Every structure is written in structure tokens, then in C-alpha cells.
Amino acid sequence: MYVFEKKKPWQKRDSGLTARIVVSFLVLTILYLVFMTVLVYIGLDFISIAAIASIMILLQWYFSDKIVLWSTGAKVVTKEQFPELHELVERIVARNGLPKPRIAVVNSRMPNAFATGKSPKSSIVAVTTGLMEELETEELEGVVAHELAHIKNRDVLVLTLASLFSTVAWYLMRFGFYGGGYGGRNRNSAGGVVLVMIVAIVTWFVSFLIIRAISRYREFVADRDGALMTGKPTKLANALLKISGTMKRIPTQDLRQVEGMNAFFIIPALSGDSFSSLFSTHPPVQQRVQKLMEMEAAMS
């Protein structure tokens, strides 16, 4: 804990970890797209642009864990600093024959966790101090196992490849239009540009949705595999309910006391649910809990 004691200013920064990671990579992607566009504009040929693009993608891949650590403020911690956390991770990896990842801690009161890394051996599992405070040991085990499942399933690679394909698709399409456009440039250049814009946006949007869908699917898989590692699906379900704040929403006040307060006339905003779920990287907590409970029922 000592490591973080001096860093009072960003203790207050409680904005979501995922948001910070997404913003960092989004900024990088925009920079990257701008740079590529400039290269196209100055008239570099396809081969050299493809070469530069792949070098940049490789670099981003190579430094991905550093970017994640940097954008979240996660610090890799030693066994001396966090002995219990290290032992907890060691228990799970030993039981499941996995390599032990490096362990990082984020000093944030928001309960959260993530995994990053290019290969199972070089990966990092990070948890926030809030997560360790709020969860009981078995629940924390569930969350760590979920992250270890992401590593085992190489989800970082899967998602990077998925986004890579969308980038490549984007460029192929742009080159296709430019390549074919030279001859007829004077005829309908304005219409051509609009068409390129529309197709580009559609391509981007579709790949965006596909990546989100893959990501949600990988979450379910990681829930399942993580629960298999610990053998306790309900503990992960409990942890999810605590992290999402759902647990706190289950009331303790008696129905007969609240009855007069018209509590039941508040219609939950269900209509927006299916729409927003298309865009989210994680499936709704209730759905994940439901699946974990079904697992528990099948196991017992």
C-alpha cells in the first residue's frame, strides 16, 4: 500500500478504467488514421503505406500492455507488497496449470479488474484497491479467475485482430475508391467523395458493432471458464452483483412501508436496453449472473 500513499491527487480520479483504456486507444487510432490519410494524400504507393501501417500496428501491439498500464495508472506489485493477492493468484494458477501472470494494483475505490498482455506468459492481471476492499476472498478469486480466463483464451489477441481487420478493411476500401477514381476524377469527384465517406463510415460502424459483439461473447466465455477454474459460479455472480452496484439496490425496507410511496409506478427504462446493449463491450450483469446460476444449478 505504501507505493500509493504519496499519490493523493489521483486518488480522486474514479472515472472508469475501461473508459480510460478506450480513450487512450481511441486517441491512438485517430492519430494513426490521420497519419495514414496524410500518407495517402502525399501520394505514397500502396505497398509502402501497407508496410508503414503494419509496422505501426505491430508497435501498438508490442506496447499494448504498457499503454494499458499507463492509461489506468496500474502499478505492477511484488509479493512483498501484496502477499495475500499474490497467494490468491498462485492458488488459482497452480490448480489450473496456468503460468503465473504479473500482478498490478490500481489505487481506485471503484471495484474493477482487467487483464492485458500479448501472451499468457507475459500477461498482467490488475485489480483496484476498491475491488479488494469490497469483495470477500472467494468472490475476489472468482474475478481473478475470470481475468485469467481472458488471458488463457487470448482475448487481447482476438480483439486486437478483430480491430485490425476492421482497419485493413477500411484501407482496402479507401484504396479501392482512390485507385478506381483517378480516371474519372473530374467527372464526379464531389459525389465520389461523399460516397467514399458514407461507405467508410458504414464499414467502420459495422466493424465496431462486430467487435462489440465478439467482446460480449468473450465475456460470457471468460465467466464460464473462470467459474470452472474456481468451481464456484455463485461467487463470481455475487462479485458481479457487488461490482455493478446491483447488490446495493436490493432493498431491505419492507414492502408494506414503501407501498404508499408509489414506488411501483416508476417504469424502468427497459425500452433503451436492447439498443444500448448493441454498443456495450460487456453483456448486462443480470444476464451474466443468470448464466452463472444456471452453471451452479448444473454443477450441484
Partner 1 sequence: MPKSDSDILFSISSAHITMETKLGLKVSGRCAVTFKTMSGSVFYEMEQDLRRFMDTLRPEFDLAFRAVTDQYGYLWVILEGSRIEDLLAGLTAASGIVEEKGFSDQLLAAVFEFRSERKSGGHSYLIYNFKRNNFYPFVPLDQKSRDTEEEMKIMSAVGEEIPFERDMGLWYPMWDLPLRSLV
Q: Could you list the residues that contact partner 1 (CB under 8 A)?
A: 234, 237-238, 241, 246-247, 249-259, 263-265, 268, 270, 286, 289-290, 293-294, 296-297
The pairing of beta strand 124-128 with beta strand 113-116: antiparallel
Q: Which of 276, 28, 40, 69 is nearest to 175 (CA)?
A: 40
Count CA atoms closer than 13 A to 200's CA, side-chain side: 17
User: Smaller CB distance to partner 1: residue 190 or 270?
Assistant: 270
Q: Which of 220, 205, 190 is nearest to 284 (CA)?
A: 220
Least distance from partner 1 to the Cβ atom of residue 282, Å? 18
End-to-end Cα, the chain, rounded Å: 39
Least distance from partner 1 to the Cβ atom of residue 273, Å? 10
User: Smaller CB distance to partner 1: residue 41 or 264?
Assistant: 264
Contact (Cβ atoms closer than 8 angstroms) between residue 297 and residue 258: no
Tally Cβ neighbours within 10 Å of residue 36. 19
- DSSP output for 187-235: HHHHHHHHHHHHHHHHHHHHHHHHHHHHHHHHHHHHHHHHHHHHT-HHH
Least distance from partner 1 to the Cβ atom of residue 242, Å? 10
User: Smaller CB distance to partner 1: residue 186 or 253?
Assistant: 253
Cell (9 digits) for 101: 501472470
User: Smaller CB distance to partner 1: residue 71 or 234?
Assistant: 234
Which three-class secondary structure state does DSSP give residue 114?
strand
Least distance from partner 1 to the Cβ atom of residue 247, Å? 7
The length of the chain in residues reads: 300
24, burial (CB in 10 Å: exposed 0-12, middle 13-18, buried 19+): middle
What DSSP character marks residue 263? G
Least distance from partner 1 to the Cβ atom of residue 244, Å? 10
For the annotated catalytic residues, the residue numbers are 147
Q: Which of 156, 109, 160, 152 is nearest to 134 (CA)?
A: 109
Least distance from partner 1 to the Cβ atom of residue 219, Å? 18
User: Smaller CB distance to partner 1: residue 190 or 255?
Assistant: 255
Contact (Cβ atoms closer than 8 angstroms) between residue 222 and residue 149: yes
